[in-house]
Structure 1
């Protein structure tokens, strides 16, 4: 575990299509100073307004995680945020020239590769953590998220679908850079063909294709090559959890146990987390060995 803050060494860029807008967007990730956090900047708008990736700035969670401030919004940030968190990047400036981030292949894999190619720069500032001391739980309509004390960031996630290809799946990972890169980052978002067709009818998912999502039709996966992992569906939900929980603003030392959760419920849990201030502390840890 790295206990110094980190940013990227060199700027990196990519281009892609927004899954809902269908518009091409250019994205650049640039180094940022200590205690800056992750901030998105809309270079296509006058004055290049920006918004910090923090749960207080979340304005919508119906189809993706959307943040907004200073007269701008940035949509579908969860996969890039998962990539930055999974690769232990604390500080970065993300410049985009449209309101929706590119979906790439529907996973965090392309972003992870991009961040890795930029290199990691250790900074002088100590990394500050939320250290969970007592369990915090939110349960509603069959969905639940609980965070327990732990000396690492761990996620146990369960999904349950009344569908033969998915069913009930559970996975459990300690979230570190190597595990994220190998076991989680490539897991793609997924949906059912009838849902995709309905969204397109209403002007959504304009950029959605088999190149950027796992699509299920009846009892088969339509994508060439099938699934990347036997349990790719639940692994993608872990990826979403990492992205959503990164909006807490600092790394977590705790064990998140999530069942049937999604973007909206994860956001509701973060609000609950901050209501229960007696259950956690902030702390820094001993410096990394020389």
Structure 2
């Protein structure tokens, strides 16, 4: 195949912590990442939540609002928001099982990228587990449209992203990222791309009591003169679409397993990403669950397995 398949699930080797500020609440928040058993998946635990309903699974079935970020909400109404950057880092690092203890309602924004989360996982180290990794292989095209925007999954011999954005402001314009995704590509080309916004919009959010911690330290900001306010300018000439790709990696990680296929989007965002993933998983004929075989010499061959259908809500 055109990319490296990993046979076994992974988790981190030891616990590691990270602290920061919630971008919308403006309040401090602490994360503790803990190793987790095989087939656990990614699970958040709200330490500040009373009662038994503090566990939130990082799955598309738990996705609630997607207006400014991706929020997960369990059946008890307990939520954790702005999960996309940490989920992108988890996916990019190739982590399957992880417990995330968090003492607030929002994942810290840190510097507006996935880099700090990757650094935490590097510090902890990864270990392979004695359980096969399962993949979602796309079997036929699945497409959704919303006005001028659209997103789709297509069969592909690898894991590929083709993300295109189109803004009227000349500093962004029309940009596209296309390429096969791997740990190296994510780390080197995607993970450091910052979230971005317009100064006029940030001021409106501040007035509404949102984005209270948004700053030049964690956001790429475009001023009223259509120029970038941040000292030092861009990290990449197409940093805007690279961050949109980062968001897509994080949002699609909520499938519960890595996908084999091509994800394409035009003028997308968190809502469109969630809609596309739900559409794919709503049609059992559109995908299959596969894993690497045990036999030596068949590293490029995938075998279909019987597994519960990923049910979007």
Shorter-normalised TM range: over 0.9
Measure how far apart 1:162 and its partner are. 0.2
SS at match of 2:64: strand
Measure how far apart 1:120 and its partner are. 0.8
Specify the alignment match of 1:220 in structure 2. 227
Measure how far apart 1:4 and its partner are. 0.7
Q: 1:253 aligns with which of 256, 260, 264?
A: 260
Gaps of 5+ in 2: 300-313
Specify the alignment match of 1:129 in structure 2. 135
Measure how far apart 1:47 and its partner are. 4.1
Partner Cα separation in structure 2 for residue 236 and residue 257 of structure 1: 15
Measure how far apart 1:46 and its partner are. 2.2
Q: 1:172 aligns with which of 175, 178, 193?
A: 178
Measure how far apart 1:275 and its partner are. 2.2
Q: 1:269 aligns with which of 273, 276, 281?
A: 276
Partner Cα separation in structure 2 for residue 242 and residue 150 of structure 1: 16
Higher share of residues assigned strand: 1
1:93 aligns with 2:99: yes
Q: Which runs of 4+ in 1 moved over 4 A?
A: 287-290
Q: Normalised by the size of structure 1, how large is the TM-score?
A: 0.97
Measure how far apart 1:136 and its partner are. 1.0
1:145 aligns with 2:151: yes
Task: Let me know the Cα RMSD of the aligned residues.
Answer: 1.4
- Identify which range, 248-257 or 267-276, moves more after superposition: 267-276
Partner Cα separation in structure 2 for residue 95 and residue 136 of structure 1: 35
Gaps of 5+ in 1: none
Partner Cα separation in structure 2 for residue 146 and residue 3 of structure 1: 27
- 1:23-102 → structure 2 map (5 Å cutoff): 23-47=27-51, 49-69=54-74, 70-102=76-108
- Identify which range, 264-273 or 238-247, moves more after superposition: 264-273
Q: How many residues align?
A: 290
SS at match of 2:194: coil
Partner Cα separation in structure 2 for residue 168 and residue 132 of structure 1: 28
Measure how far apart 1:277 and its partner are. 1.5
1:193 aligns with 2:203: no
